[in-house]
Amino acid sequence: MTRRFERCALVVAIGLVVGLCGAAYLNPPRMVTAAPQAMLDLPPLEIDVASGWTPSVGELAVIHVNAAGSEDLTKTVSVRARDTQHMASAKHTAAGLWQTFERLGYDLNAVGSGDAEVPRLFVASLPKDLSEVRETARRKALFFSSVLPLVLQVNDEISADRERLWELRSRLMKGAKLGPVDRLWLIVMAERYQVKRGDLKSLVSRVDAIPPSLALAQAAEESGWGTSRFVRQGNAIFGQWTFSTDGSLVPAQRDTDKFHRVKAFGSLLDSVRAYARNLNTHRAYRHFRKERRDMRRQNLPLDGIKLADNLKSYSERGEGYIKDLRAIIAANKLRRLDGARLSPRMAKAGSLI
C-alpha cells in the first residue's frame, strides 16, 4: 500500500514538473528583476470592501497571507470610502508610511514593553526616499517597524511547522503509524531543510525561528538601513549571494575575478523567508543551529547576541561583522523586541502593501 502511494505521488510530481516546463517554454519569464511598485494609501475612517477585509483607500496591490503562511495571487482591489474626503491617497513614501504607523498606533516602545502587539502590515518594498529622512531616530524606527512584522510572520510560519513536526515525532516514538499526508509532508520538509528522510532529530534542530533582534540587526547591517541599491532594486535586504544570473544583481564593487551576485526578490517577505532558510540549512551555520538547539534544551530564550557569534561566515569581515551586529542590537535595544507578537486582530488576512 505504501509503495503504491509513493509511486502514485511520484507520477503526479513528474507530471507537474513536465507541465511547468512546458508552460515555461511556451511563455518564458522576462529576464528582468525589479522591485514592486507599491502604492501606500492611508486608511479611511470607514470603508466598504466586497471581499470583507479592510485594506486602505484607493487601488493597491495586495498579497493575502493566511495562517499557514501561503500566499494567494497578487491582485488589485478597489476600495470605496463612505466619506469622499478620504479618497485622497498618499504615495509609498517614508512620510506616508510613518502616518500609517501612527494611525495604527504602531509604536516600537509599546511593543518592546509588552503593552502592544505588532500589526499585520507587510510592506512589499521600502520607501525609496527612506535615506532622505534626516532624523536618525525616525529613520531607524521606520526601518525596524517595516521589517519586524515580516520577521514575525516568517517565524510564525516556521513555528507552525515545528509544532507539527514535534507532534508527528511524538506519535512515531509511541509506535503510531502516520497517514499518507503526514508521510508526504515529512518528505517535503526533509527536502526543504536538506536532511535525510526520516532524520527527525536533525530536522527538529533546523526547523526553528530566528530571534527578531538578530534578524533586525542583520537586515540593518546588510541593507545600509534600507537604503542600499540591492534593497531599492531587488528587495535584497539580507544581501544573500548567488551565482545564478537569473533574478540577481551584480555588485558594483565586485572584483574582476569574482562571479557572485546578490539574489533579488519580488518582495521583502520573500527575502526574509530566504534568509531564514539560509541560516536553517547552510552548513556554514551549523554552529548557529547547535547553540540554538542547546538554548532550547535548557529552556532558555533565544539570545540574538550570543547566536550572532556563530555568523562569522556570513560576511567576509568575520569578527568585525559580528562586532557590528552586537553593537546594533545593544545600541538599539533590539532584545526587547524578541518577545514581540503579531496582532491577530488587524484583519482576516494580512496585507502586503
Could you tell me the end-to-end alpha-carbon distance of the chain, in angstroms, rounded to an integer?
47
* Local confidence pLDDT in tens for the 353 residues of the chain: 555 656 666 666 676 666 666 665 555 544 444 444 433 333 333 333 333 333 333 223 333 454 445 554 333 333 333 333 332 334 689 999 999 999 999 999 999 999 999 999 999 999 999 989 999 999 999 999 999 999 999 999 999 999 999 999 999 999 999 999 999 999 999 999 999 999 999 999 999 999 999 999 999 999 999 888 878 888 889 877 554 555 555 554 654 555 456 678 889 999 999 999 999 999 999 999 999 999 999 999 999 999 999 999 988 888 999 999 999 999 999 999 999 999 986 543 344 45
Q: Is residue 26 part of a domain?
A: no
Residues 116 and 218 in one domain: no
Report residue 219 as a C-alpha cell. Answer: 537586515
Residues 127 and 218 in one domain: no
Q: Is residue 146 part of a domain?
A: no
Count of Cβ atoms closer than 10 Å to residue 193 Cβ: 19
DSSP symbol at 105 = T
Residues 223 and 330 in one domain: yes
Residue type at position 146 = S
Residues 127 and 230 in one domain: no
Q: Is residue 234 part of a domain?
A: yes
Residues 230 and 126 in one domain: no
Q: Is residue 63 part of a domain?
A: yes
Q: Which residues, in sequence order, are CB contacts of 91 under 8 Å at separation 6+?
A: 39, 40
Cα 347–Cα 352–Cα 353 angle in degrees, nearest 5: 110
Q: Is residue 182 part of a domain?
A: no
Q: Is residue 41 part of a domain?
A: no
Are 79 and 56 in contact by the 8 Å Cβ rule? The answer is yes
268-281 vs 212-223: helix crossing angle, rounded to 10? 110
Q: Is residue 35 part of a domain?
A: no
Residues 220 and 323 in one domain: yes
Q: Which domain holds residue 237?
A: 212-337
**Cα dist. 336→32, 129, 215 in Å?**
40, 28, 13
Q: Is residue 247 part of a domain?
A: yes
Q: How many domains does the chain have?
A: 2
What is the CATH number for 272?
Answer: 1.10.530.10
